[in-house]
Structure 1
């Protein structure tokens, strides 16, 4: 009875607000991303080349803007106000896509608004890390539970996105996303705290030290780019591979993705629970070992049952690197959670850009199986690089 009372008293409303903010922001983003190529093709009448160009420009703009914002976010201003501004830009972006069908407007103004909007999620995680450090909460578990909310949002968001777009149209879809961002703004405004800024590590000139100058940060960034390149190549290629090469039902692709996403949530929570005891580097190496087994399995096995079973290794791989990878960056860059989280999210974006180019080239010239041979090699390289990063 005493333990139950203690547990009830330990429930922190701010903690719950962070969970809700990450979930709501994740859902709003997950509504727009899955159907964006369909929107550009059907509504904007863009040819495949222009669709691909839009995604490339969008990813590059997101990296540039997030890097510029991250430098300021750790040294000046209220991080919560920055998050509110980014969510407001996300709301404007959703309204723009709801009512505009002009490609040039979308690839200029739309991409700019989208790039500013994309900063909101890493900044929410940076604010959460500052709050956890200030309030002496367990930062690893706190961040892992938040990251699980984002994964849950991506389990729910894509099916809901297709349902809204196909049944009610894209105007309704983007208006629903805009309404969700409005709720996010209200939630963040009235529930998330303003955390006093810890003094960042400085150079003599008064500017925060660049994480890129640190050998361990550089190595982890390259390893992280490699990991996310593997994952994105798989996501792009897998639906084509199972239907065109293996002759399996197309609906299996959705089942595989949904299974992996569902399994990632308990993996994230377990990783957060054992991180302090096991160490972040050991967990990341365990994740990469699972990734190596996953891609080796894709090369060796071709049955539907084997592909389903392999999703357990895929979930361990992505579930750990998605949560613990971000925390490892933050630990390697103390006093700069915004810059650290942005480096992690930019490694994902960079991996996505590389994956699109590599997957298209390999599958066209050497067949789909070549994609998984390369992913296996990249996973082994990422393991070797991560093993050389210090454990903090």
Structure 2
């Protein structure tokens, strides 16, 4: 029972840590260090690149030892160190260096937790349920961070991040103690269950998820601008739409976890892609708040299918739960990088701003095609 409480508690604390930092980071750099737009862009790019590299190197090293909780403790310590450096320094160069050296590995808590769960024999349903807890953190984290910044300034949220990181380290230490006394699970999913899929099929799935993640990153980044400039609605409606989508993601993820035992990964991903295609095409045509809010149901289901099914899928097709989880998390990072060109190219079409969401629908179609093709290649490989 203690172990069952510790897993969601640990997931919530690690989720809150990133949910506090990432949305507020641009404001922190501009307010505390007077970063220009160009400097901000480079700082965020270097920070994200550090995270991308760390999420491949650190979890893969943890795969060799089978210990994912000790690196989580190190990540928590680095989070505290990063927060303290950002509070104490007034130099933008020092802040950026800290983001590169400390920030990348500091953000690996959730990645390592999912790898630990897979290594310990957690079922796909349990992993998706834990992913839903991280989504809960993202529902509450950004508004709480905004409240802290409004009350205590930008440095105030850094102290809160350090506190949450310390609590996360405590929960991780208790989880490690609980795991040592837990009954070992023979089939931890680290051996053999990835061997039936060819490298070409795995590459296709990785490409597919980069495209699928890019659509969500694009829509999330541009929705506020679209609502205020294209639809000429109050910015409040953008916040409501994003909040409704985030709130619906949690029950959608829980439902995906339950359906995973009854339907194939391919079927669930296809349903998410179809929902996403419908969402982006409808979003390109909405003009009033009512439909904008209503279609967030499609958005939430699309995200849940990609985020929930995708995580367990990667852990099955790639050897090593750490590397598999890191690869999945990086599809989100690379997708976010692609969102910039998608916005630029989509907006330059004759459709204007709605063209961005039509481009997202097209990327969904490509991602769906790549996923189905990977499934066909994988099935042919197993039949030989």
How many residues matched?
A: 369
Q: Deviations over 1:264-295 (max 9, x none)?
A: 11110111001011111111111111000001
Find the counterpart in structure 1 of residue 360 from structure 2: 375
Contact 1:63 1:346 in 2 (8 A): yes
Inter-partner Cα distance in structure 2 for 1:312 and 1:264: 9
**Where has structure 1 moved over 3 Å in runs of 4 or more?**
194-202, 209-213, 360-367
Tell me, in whole angstroms, the C-alpha distance in 2 between the residues paired with 1:167 and 1:362: 39
Tell whether the 8 Å contact from 1:264 to 1:316 is kept in structure 2 after alignment: yes
Separation in 1, partners of 2:197, 2:326: 12
Contact preservation (8 Å) 1:155, 1:261: yes
Name structure 1 gaps, 5 residues minimum: 1-11, 203-208
- Which residue of structure 2 aligns with residue 46 of structure 1? 35
Task: Find the partner of 1:224 among 209, 226, 231.
Answer: 209
Q: Which has the larger displacement, 220-229 or 191-200? A: 191-200
Equivalent residue of 2:313, what SS? helix
Alignment correspondent of 1:159? 143
The 5 Å alignment of 1:54-73 reads 54-73=43-62
State the partner residue of 1:342.
Answer: 326
Q: Is the 8 A contact 1:87 1:120 kept in 2?
A: yes
**CA, structure 1 residues 112+210, in 2 after alignment: closer, same or farther (shift >3 Å)?**
farther
- Output the CA distance in 2 between the equivalents of 1:211 and 1:72: 24
Q: CA deviation at 1:78?
A: 2.2
Residue 111 of structure 1 corresponds to 100
Which moves more between the two structures, 189-198 or 246-255? 189-198
- Counterpart of 1:29 in structure 2 is 18
> What TM-score, normalized to structure 2?
0.90
SS of the residue 1:290 aligns to: helix
Distance 2:289 2:91 in 1: 42
Q: Which residue of 1 aligns with 2:232?
A: 247
Which of 124, 129, 145 aligns to 2:118? It is: 129
Q: CA deviation at 1:90?
A: 1.3
Mark the CA change 1:365 to 1:96 in structure 2 (over 3 Å): closer, same or farther: farther
Q: Using the alignment, how far apart are the partners of 1:25 and 1:339 within structure 2?
A: 19
C-alpha RMSD over aligned residues:
2.3
1:88 pairs with one of 48, 53, 77 = 77
Aligned to 1:184: 168
Q: 1:143-195 CA distances to partner (integer Å, 9 max, x unpaired)?
A: 11111110000110000001111221122211111011001111111223258
TM-score by length of 1: 0.89
CA distance in 2, matches of 1:275, 1:164: 38
- Aligned position for 1:258: 243
Displacement of 1:201 after TM fit? 5.7
Residue 371 of structure 1: how far off its partner (Å): 1.1
Q: Which residue of the partner structure matches residue 382 of structure 2?
A: none
